[in-house]
């Protein structure tokens, strides 16, 4: 039995300091052109700031990509539920689904980057409250996407006699990103997909047991929830260069990165949202496109 493997490409969050928009777009297009035949989706992150680094707003950027590349599904890796009113988020998702011809995937999480909350004057409650907010957000979004009119009164959010027309068709898959026990319960209750970002295979194996327990407690078959992994890559052609690499994500030679991907496949992950760490590191993108991704094209794992 073969495993069907899917890849998506996550664009860099913004230009380097002082870079013109034309150059940022040129490099982004080069990245997509290199990996294009091996991916079926494009993704953008959803952050507001990391210090003084240039960061593009996620929904605006993704909408632009959706129009520019009609051959790909599009989503965020992942939306911060705190940044948008849940009913407005439902309306935005329904609109993008309508205008993109049904290509939108709702990737969403509870938010974590305190700096941007404080800088943009968003409340930053403790983790339990943020996960509870995410649960209410998903209830509101799913209701507005499927019910004629919605009234909801939660501890954090409410809507009163709300309509969301036109309804999204088909319903966008809901992919929840998170690793904590409470987050995995939300995945089990509301999500069509679970995304685990950055996590190493050995740690993922532990989280997988918690995920499966949460699904069983709610009467869901864990195999019905698609599993994906997000992380960035640095790929170098020689072992000497690869040995000097440090950091998170997929790092190494093409052979080493293929082995790392296979380790996740062996744990049941079938979709990978990948990107390059550095915007102008086209060497990584070329090596992935020429020597890594083609190994998984037939869905049989690394050759």
Q: What is the mean pLDDT of residues 116-130?
A: 98
The pLDDT of residue 3 is 79
Q: Per-residue pLDDT averaged across 246-254, rounded? A: 97
DSSP tag of 291: I
pLDDT of 217 reads 96
**CA nearest to 107, candidates 183, 180, 27, 46:** 46
Q: What is the pLDDT of residues 194-237, one digit of tens each?
A: 999 999 999 999 999 999 999 999 999 999 999 999 999 999 99
How many Å apart are CA 138 and CA 145, to the nearest integer? 10
How would DSSP label each residue in 53-78? B----HHHHHHHHHHH-TTSEEEES-
Report the chain's mean pLDDT, rounded to a whole number: 96
> Which residue in this structure is represented by tokens 């640095």?
234
User: What's the pLDDT at 36?
Assistant: 97
Between the CA of residue 154 and those of 80, 148, 164, 181, what are the distances in Å? 19, 19, 19, 22
What whole-number distance in Å separates Cα of residue 277 and Cα of residue 207? Answer: 25
Domain ranges of the chain: 6-296
Model confidence at 302: pLDDT above 80: no
Residues near 243 by beta carbon (within 8 Å), at least 6 away in sequence: none
Please name the residue that has the structure tokens 């904590």: 180
pLDDT greater than 80 at residue 297: no
pLDDT over 50 at 300, yes or no: no
Tell me the whole-structure pTM to 2 decimals. Answer: 0.96
pLDDT (0 to 100) of residue 242: 95
Whether 1 shows a pLDDT value over 90: the answer reads no
pLDDT of the residue at 128: 97
Cα 205 off chain centre by: 20
The three-class DSSP label of residue 270 is coil
**CATH of the domain spanning 6-296, picked from 3.20.20.30, 3.40.50.720, 3.40.50.2000, 1.25.40.420:** 3.20.20.30
Half-sphere exposure of 235 (CA within 13 A, CB side): 29
Which residues have a Cβ under 8 Å from the Cβ of 190 and sit 6 or more positions away?
135, 138, 139, 142, 174, 176
Could you give the 3-state DSSP secondary structure of residue 150?
strand
Q: Residue 2 has what pLDDT?
A: 67
Mean pLDDT, rounded, for 230-259:
97
| Whole-number Å distance between alpha carbons of 82 and 70 | 29
- Phi, psi values for residue 84, rounded to 5°: -140, 135
Could you tell me the end-to-end alpha-carbon distance of the chain, in angstroms, rounded to an integer? Answer: 15
Interval 274-285: pLDDT, tens: 999 999 999 999
**pLDDT-based confidence at 303, cuts 50/70/90?**
very low
Is the predicted pLDDT of residue 13 greater than 80, yes or no? yes
């Amino acid at each position: 039995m073969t495993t069907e493997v899917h890849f998506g490409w996550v664009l860099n969050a913004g230009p380097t300091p002082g870079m013109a928009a034309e150059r940022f777009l040129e490099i982004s297009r080069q990245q997509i052109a290199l990996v294009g035949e091996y991916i079926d989706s494009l993704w953008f992150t959803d952050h507001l700031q990391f210090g003084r680094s240039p960061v593009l707003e996620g929904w605006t950027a993704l909408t632009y990509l959706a129009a520019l590349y009609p051959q790909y599904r599009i989503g965020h890796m992942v939306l911060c539920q705190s940044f948008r009113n849940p009913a407005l988020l439902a309306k935005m998702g329904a609109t993008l689904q309508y205008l993109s011809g049904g290509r939108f995937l709702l990737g969403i999480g509870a938010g974590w980057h305190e700096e941007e909350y404080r800088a943009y004057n968003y409340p930053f409650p403790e983790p339990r409250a943020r996960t509870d907010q995410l649960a209410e957000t998903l209830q509101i979004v799913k209701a507005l996407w499927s019910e004629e009119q919605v009234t909801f009164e939660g501890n954090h959010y409410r809507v009163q006699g709300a309509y969301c027309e036109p309804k999204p068709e088909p319903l966008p898959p809901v992919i929840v990103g998170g690793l904590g026990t409470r987050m995995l319960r939300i995945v089990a209750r509301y999500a069509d997909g679970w995304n685990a970002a950055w996590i190493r295979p050995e740690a993922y194996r532990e989280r997988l047991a918690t995920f499966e327990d949460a699904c069983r407690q709610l009467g869901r078959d864990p195999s019905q929830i698609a599993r994906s992994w997000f992380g960035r890559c640095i790929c170098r052609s020689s072992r000497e260069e690869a040995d000097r690499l440090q950091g998170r994500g997929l790092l190494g030679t093409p052979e080493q990165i293929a082995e790392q991907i296979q380790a996740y496949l062996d744990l049941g992950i079938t979709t990978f949202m990948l990107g390059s760490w550095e915007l102008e590191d086209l060497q990584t993108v070329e090596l992935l496109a020429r020597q890594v991704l083609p190994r998984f094209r037939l869905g049989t794992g690394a050759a």
